Amino acid sequence: SQISYGRLLKVFFSVAHDPTELNRQGPDSGSQYRSAIFYGNEEQQRIAEAYIVQLNKARVFRAPIVTKVTALQSFYEAEGYHQGYLDRHPDEPYIIINDLPKVENLRKHFPELYKAK
């Protein structure tokens, strides 16, 4: 099944991370941890930019959104040791502190999208 682009944006801004942190996500910092949306066409770009404006105007977050909206150039699948990391390391402190709360928020706010293993 597919998720709509608008729904994907809603999950991204609601559950995935803090879009107001510049080059940082939780304890990790550096430009590789920047908040970014990579669009595949002009319609996706327009929708993402308009959604960010809407969220900023509504003051949904404590600070302005710093998420960059950038054209997708290429996509590379993560290395194997990154795949299923949460499932393989559920007791790791990083997972418990940083990732499990996000999974719980997804389950709570978007139960129709959450699928337990």
What confidence score (pLDDT) does residue 29 get? 95
Cα separation of 35 and 6, whole Å?
A: 17
Q: Is the pLDDT score of 35 beyond 80? A: yes
Reported confidence tier of residue 43, pLDDT bands at 50, 70, 90: very high
Q: Which two tokens stand for residue 10?
A: 């809603």
Q: What is the pLDDT of residues 20-30, one digit of tens each?
A: 999 998 889 99
- Assess whether 90 and 46 both reside in one domain: no
> What long-range pairs does 102-107 form, CB within 8 A, spacing at least 24?
102/15, 102/16, 102/17, 105/14, 105/15, 106/11, 106/15
What confidence score (pLDDT) does residue 60 get? 97
- 95 forms bridges with which residues in the sheet? none
Q: How many domains does the chain have?
A: 2
- Assess whether 85 and 70 both reside in one domain: no
- Assess whether 37 and 62 both reside in one domain: yes
- Assess whether 61 and 90 both reside in one domain: no
- Assess whether 19 and 52 both reside in one domain: yes
What confidence score (pLDDT) does residue 91 get? 96
Give Cα 95 to chain centroid, integer Å: 16
Whether the CB-CB separation of 20 and 64 falls below 8 Å is answered with yes
What confidence score (pLDDT) does residue 72 get? 97
Provide mean pLDDT across the span 44-67.
98
Reported confidence tier of residue 116, pLDDT bands at 50, 70, 90: confident
Segments forming the whole domain that contains residue 80: 76-117
Cα separation of 24 and 105, whole Å?
A: 20
- Assess whether 9 and 62 both reside in one domain: yes
- Assess whether 12 and 66 both reside in one domain: yes
Whether the CB-CB separation of 113 and 106 falls below 8 Å is answered with yes
